[in-house]
Amino acid sequence: MGKEANQKKRIPGLPKSATLPQFSDNAITVLERRYLKKNEAGEVVEEPKDMLWRVAWTIAEGEIPFEPKADIKKLAVEFYEMMACLEFLPNSPTLMNAGRELGQLSACFVLPIEDSMESIFEAVKQTALIHKSGGGTGFSFSRIRPSNDLVHSTSGISSGPLSFMSVFDCATETIKQGGTRRGANMAILRVDHPDIMDFIKIKADLTKLQNFNLSVALTDEFMSALKSDDDYDLLNPRNNEVIKRQNARKVFKQIVKQAWLSGEPGIVFIDRINADNPTPQVGPIESTNPCGEQPLLPHESCNLGSINLARMVNDGKIDYDKLGKTVSTAVHFLDNVVDINNYPLPVIEEQTKANRKIGLGVMGFADLLLLLETPYSSQQARDLAAEIMAFVDRTAYNASIELAEKRGPFPNFPESTYGTENPTVPIRNATRTTIAPTGTISILAGCSSGVEPIFALAFLRRVMDDDELFEINPIFESVARKNNFFSHALVKKIAHNGSCHNLDEIPEKFRLFFESAHDITPNDHIEIQSAFQKYTNNAVSKTINFAHDATIEQVEKAYLMAYEKGCKGVTIYRDGCRENQVLNIGKTDTKQVTVGTEKPTKRDRPQALVGRTYQMSTGCGPLYVTINDDEKGLTFELFNTIGKAGGCAASQSEAIGRLVSLAWRSGQQPEPIIKQLIGISCHKPSGFGENRVTSCADAIAQAIRHHIEKNNGKRNQALHEENNMAFGACPECGGVVEHEGGCMVCHTCGYSECA
Q: How far apart are CA 620 and CA 173, in angstroms?
A: 19
Q: Is 293 a catalytic residue?
A: yes
CB atoms closer than 10 angstroms to residue 88: 25
- Helices and strands, number each (H, E), in the chain: 25, 27
Under 8 Å between Cβ of 751 and 181: yes
Query: Catalytic: 584?
Result: no
Among 291, 730, 749, 754, the one annotated catalytic = 291
Q: Within 341-454, where are the H helices?
A: 346-355, 365-371, 379-407, 441-445
Q: What share of the chain is helix, strand, coil (3-state, %, to 5)?
A: 40, 20, 40
For residue 549, give every residue at least 6 positions away whose Cβ sits within 8 Å of its Cβ, in sequence order, or none.
Answer: none
The Cα–Cα gap between 64 and 594 comes to 75
Q: Fill in the amino acid letter for 614.
A: Y
Helix (H, G, I), strand (E, B) or coil at 295: strand
Candidates 98, 53, 47, 100; CA nearest to 80 is 53
C-alpha span between 677 and 682 (Å, rounded): 12
Q: How many Cβ atoms sit within 10 Å of the Cβ of residue 230?
A: 14
CA distance 248 to 250: 5
Helix, coil or strand: residue 119: helix
State the first-to-last Cα distance of the chain, in angstroms, to the nearest integer: 30
**Strands in 125-238 per DSSP E:** 136-140, 150-151, 156-157, 176-177, 181-182, 185-190, 212-218, 231-236
What is the C-alpha to C-alpha distance for residues 463 and 26, in angstroms, rounded to an integer?
Answer: 13
* Omega before 68 within 30 of 0, i.e. cis: no
| Among 575, 532, 554, 83, residue whose Cα is nearest residue 293 | 532
Half-sphere CA count of 6, side-chain side, radius 13 A: 22
DSSP letter (8 states) at residue 34 = I
CB-CB contact of 662 with 602 (8 Å):
yes
The one catalytic residue in 61, 63, 293, 300 is 293
User: β-pairing, 313-314 with 569-574?
Assistant: unpaired
| Beta strand 569-574 pairing with 543-546 | parallel
Which one of 97, 211, 213, 289 is the catalytic residue? 289
Length of the chain: 755
Contact (Cβ atoms closer than 8 angstroms) between residue 158 and residue 151: yes
Is there a catalytic annotation at residue 405?
A: no
How far is residue 649's CA from residue 405's CA, in Å, rounded to a whole number? 64
What number of other Cβ atoms are within 10 A of residue 41's Cβ?
A: 6
186, 215 contact by CB (below 8 A): yes
Q: Cα dihedral sign for 533, 535, 541, 543?
A: negative
CB 84 within 8 A of CB 19: yes
Query: What is the greatest pairwise CA distance in the chain?
Result: 90
DSSP state string for 532-600: HHTT-SS-B--EEEE-TT--HHHHHHHHHHHHHTT-SEEEEEETT-STT-S--TT----------SSPP
Give per-residue burial for 286-304: e unless 16+ CB within 10 Å, then b. Answer: bbbbbbbbbbbbbbbbbbb
DSSP label at 713? T
Which positions are annotated as active-site residues? 289, 291, 293
